[in-house]
Structure 1
Amino acid sequence: MHLTSYTDYALRTLIYLGTQKNDNTLARIKEISEIYKVSTNHMSKVVYELGQIGLISTVRGKNGGIKLAKDPADINIGAVVRKTENLHIVECFDKENNMCIISPACNLKFTLNKALQAYLSVLDQYTLADVISNSDELLDIFRSHDRQV
């Protein structure tokens, strides 16, 4: 399976926010964009969707920023992937746009669906808390990046 960069950035944003120990500290999109070397415009779209699905809180204004809206233990990785990723891994998974003529008789879609479900099942076993269990190491990496900029 291959995740889009959009989902990758969403997961990395959650990782960054999850490592921020101080609940009162708000991160800025620009700061996250610089750390991950992603355009601010693209990261803004990711952050907007994460806010829409209730994973992050956003505060507008001069002193605004973003933070996790939930405890990292309550953010399931499989659920994040389902919300941010188009899981139509082949044309026939998209009923509205399926033009494949062999769809009615094709057994491949059942095999691929089973593989997709197995993939998601593994992701469902992990939360953001699991992914950031090495938060001190991650923070060191983020801080060393700040010194380089």
Structure 2
Amino acid sequence: MRLTLHTDYALRLLMHLAVTPGRLVTITEVAEAFAISRNHLVKVAHELGKAGFVETMRGRGGGLRLARPPEKIVIGDVVRAMEEDFRIVECFDREANTCCIAPACRLKRLLRDALEAWAAVLDDATLADLAAKPAPLRRLLALTA
């Protein structure tokens, strides 16, 4: 399983916001801290806003902040909101499946079980868990107190 860059950036942005509570954070600040594309991050922030994970304030003095407490943001929910699909093999898509062994193949069930287990682990974690020890993250992101 591989997450898209979109999801990777979404998780990084949320972690950045979690370790900077009480203030608005700009897209530029986050892009520079992670050395990632500002343009891509704008799209990510927009999607996170539509999904209800962040609040966005436009204009001078604007920025981003978490829309709810970090302990209320489940990582599995974020991943599901950001990823387009979880069809890790062709046979997960009934309409596009052309695999001739699909009716007898046991691999599909094994992969589905693995995907469900992976999702269950993500559902057990919150953003608060990822930001539980903010000092190292703040130091690596060059954030001041």
Unaligned 5+ runs, structure 1 = none
**1:116-136 deviations in whole A, cap 9, x for unaligned?**
011111111110000100112
Matched, 1:119 2:129: no
Partner of 1:5: 5
Unaligned 5+ runs, structure 2 = none
TM-score, normalized by length of structure 1?
Answer: 0.88
Distance 2:82 2:99 in 1: 25
Q: 1:64 aligns with which of 58, 62, 65?
A: 62
User: Would you say the 8 A contact 2:33–2:142 is kept in 1?
Assistant: no
Count of matched residue positions in the alignment of Structure 1 and Structure 2 = 143
User: Would you say the 8 A contact 2:57–2:64 is kept in 1?
Assistant: yes
Match of 2:65, as an amino acid? K
Q: Which has the higher helix share?
A: 1
**1:104-124 deviations in whole A, cap 9, x for unaligned?**
332211110000011111111
Distance 1:96 1:27 in 2: 43
User: Would you say the 8 A contact 2:76–2:122 is kept in 1?
Assistant: yes
Q: Percent identity?
A: 46
TM-score, normalized by length of structure 2?
Answer: 0.91
Distance 2:42 2:98 in 1: 34
The alignment's C-alpha RMSD in Å is 1.6
